[in-house]
């Protein structure tokens, strides 16, 4: 398979034929194919259950051996060394690109979205969505830590202003950057008098950008959008109450601020040395900003890379470039956004293998808001991860969910009964019911619907380590009957030393 995907642009007459290629075998008679891989994989197991060193290690090394490109998100500081070992063992070390705090690789995401190829390039809404996706993490962290949620009004008004600022800067300069967006909002007029004041006009970055954009030739659509943007800053903005305007401004500047300073500014707001297109060319991009070390900064950077990679892979033509790609996230709850369940619903056609690892089901619900909406989005996301591997777990919610997922079958139960006369108390006290002559015995069988795998079974799976180094897992694939078990699930042993 590595030979099939080695070239950057290899035309394939029937890409669907490749989907049937086996990548690995769960048993001698049960293969996991490329089609299974691009339908998504979920790996759940408690801390220390062997999910990373068991099924995770097997799947990661398999995809590397088969020539996949990929994006690796990191939560722990040892994951870089782990993936360097994987790439070394599979002869892919030359394809590994590490994006870290040294700033050797940079990605100006705004300039990329404005100038990339494709029909949707340069659209204001797409540029604003980049911020919205990343800021979902910031808003969620604030609510989780006890902050208040101001509702959708400030968010919607902030996004409106951000769209208008993007339109103005794109027309005025042909580019959009975070520092320039900040200047537009800080120098926007706050009264009708300032709008008409020549001295203010000369000093205001916002007004200078509007004048520069006004002088540029425009298409009819650009002319209309420019008029809307001007009305926003020159009419609506100055008419707002001071408190309302300052709150909207603070909301937008809060979104922009992380990318206007420090590491994020260097990585995402300078020049570009690496783009998500490298994944479809066979590179393994590892974002070495583990959340445990870099906190929210690491989350922002990795969520931005993930979102841009998802969008890029969705746009590609598989007929022209059939190399599969993967998006790998251990401790996946740190990197989830509401866009993930939308992406997973359609990424199969783009040949993207999403692999998410976490401890339990509740992690996903909490990460997506912890409310009913978060639960619905979790169910939608996990339902579209067709391969599920369950390792040892003591979480009752996860074990019940896994048991219900595998399902129930009609099973036989035996029952028996023995009765005796009321006055035969001596035999009863001695436990000698079977010697009583005046008793009656009956028995029978009944059919009942019972869980194929009881929740308690997940607490008994081996977690690896010495002396056996064996990790137990239960593999489930929707719509598949495993030859080795005759059922829709299969117990599998993973050797940590193999």
Q: Residue 373's pLDDT is what?
A: 85
Residue 9: per-residue pLDDT: 45
The per-residue pLDDT for 452 is: 87
Return the pLDDT at 13. 47
Task: Write down the pLDDT at residue 11.
Answer: 47
CB 42 within 8 A of CB 385: yes
Tell me the HSE value of 312 on the side-chain side, using a 13 A CA sphere: 25
Q: Where are the domains of the chain?
A: 15-105+280-401, 109-264, 408-451
Distance CA 343, CA 390 (A): 23
- Containing H/E element for 251? helix 242-256
Predicted TM-score of the model (pTM): 0.86
Neighbours of 339 (CB within 10 A): 17
Interatomic CA distance for residues 299 and 399, integer angstroms: 29
What's residue 412's pLDDT? 64
CATH architecture for the domain at 15-105+280-401:
3-Layer(aba) Sandwich (3.40)
Distance between CA atoms of residues 254 and 178, nearest Å: 12
Question: Using the 8-state DSSP alphabet, how is residue 233 labeled?
Answer: I
Q: What average pLDDT values come out for the chain (498 residues) when binned by 10 residues? A: 52 66 94 96 95 96 96 96 97 96 91 81 83 78 56 83 94 91 94 93 94 93 94 94 92 90 92 94 96 93 94 89 94 92 91 97 89 89 95 95 84 65 55 56 64 92 92 94 93 92
């Amino acid at each position: 398979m590595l030979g099939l995907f080695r070239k950057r642009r290899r035309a394939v007459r029937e890409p669907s034929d490749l989907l049937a290629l086996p990548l690995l075998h769960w048993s001698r008679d049960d293969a996991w194919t490329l089609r299974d891989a691009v339908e998504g994989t979920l790996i759940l197991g408690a801390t220390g259950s062997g999910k990373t060193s068991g099924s995770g290690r097997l799947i990661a090394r398999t995809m590397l051996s088969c020539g996949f490109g990929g994006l690796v998100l990191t939560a722990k500081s040892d994951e870089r060394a782990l993936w360097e070992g994987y790439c070394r063992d599979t002869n892919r070390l030359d394809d590994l690109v590490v994006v870290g705090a040294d700033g050797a690789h940079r990605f100006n995401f705004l300039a990329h979205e404005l100038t990339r190829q494709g029909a949707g390039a340069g659209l204001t809404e797409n540029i604003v969505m980049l911020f919205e996706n990343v800021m979902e993490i910031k808003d969620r962290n604030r609510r989780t830590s006890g902050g208040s949620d101001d509702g959708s009004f400030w968010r919607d008004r902030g996004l409106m202003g951000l769209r208008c600022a993007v339109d103005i800067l794109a027309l005025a300069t042909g580019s959009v950057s975070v520092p320039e967006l900040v200047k537009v909002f800080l120098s926007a007029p706050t009264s009708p008098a300032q709008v008409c004041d020549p001295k203010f006009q000369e000093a205001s970055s916002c007004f200078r950008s509007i004048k520069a954009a006004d002088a540029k030739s425009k298409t009819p659509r650009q002319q209309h959008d420019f008029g809307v943007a001007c009305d926003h800053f020159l009419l609506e903005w100055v008419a707002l109450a001071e408190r309302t305007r300052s709150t909207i401004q603070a909301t937008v500047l809060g979104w922009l601020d992380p990318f206007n300073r420090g590491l994020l500014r260097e990585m995402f707001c300078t020049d570009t040395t690496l783009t998500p297109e490298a994944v479809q060319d066979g590179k393994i991009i590892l974002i070495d900003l583990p959340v445990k070390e870099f906190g929210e900064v690491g989350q922002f950077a990795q969520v931005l890379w993930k979102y841009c990679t998802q969008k890029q892979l969705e746009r590609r033509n598989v007929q022209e470039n059939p190399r599969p790609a993967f998006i790998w996230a251990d401790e996946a709850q740190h990197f989830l956004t509401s866009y993930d369940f939308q992406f997973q619903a359609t990424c199969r056609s783009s040949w993207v293998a999403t692999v998410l690892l976490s401890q339990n089901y509740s992690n996903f619900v909490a990460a997506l808001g912890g409310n009913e909406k978060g639960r619905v989005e979790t169910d939608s996301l996990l339902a579209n991860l067709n391969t599920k591997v369950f390792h040892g777990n003591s979480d009752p919610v996860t074990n019940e969910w896994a048991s219900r997922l595998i399902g129930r079958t009609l099973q036989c139960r035996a029952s028996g009964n023995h009765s005796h006369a009321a006055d035969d108390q001596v035999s009863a006290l001695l436990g000698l019911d079977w010697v009583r002559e005046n008793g009656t015995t009956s028995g029978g069988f009944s059919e009942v619907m019972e869980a194929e795998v009881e929740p308690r079974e997940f607490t008994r799976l081996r977690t690896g380590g010495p002396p056996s180094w064996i990790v137990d897992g239960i593999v489930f694939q929707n719509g598949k009957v495993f030859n080795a078990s005759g059922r829709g699930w299969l117990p599998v042993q993973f050797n940590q030393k193999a």
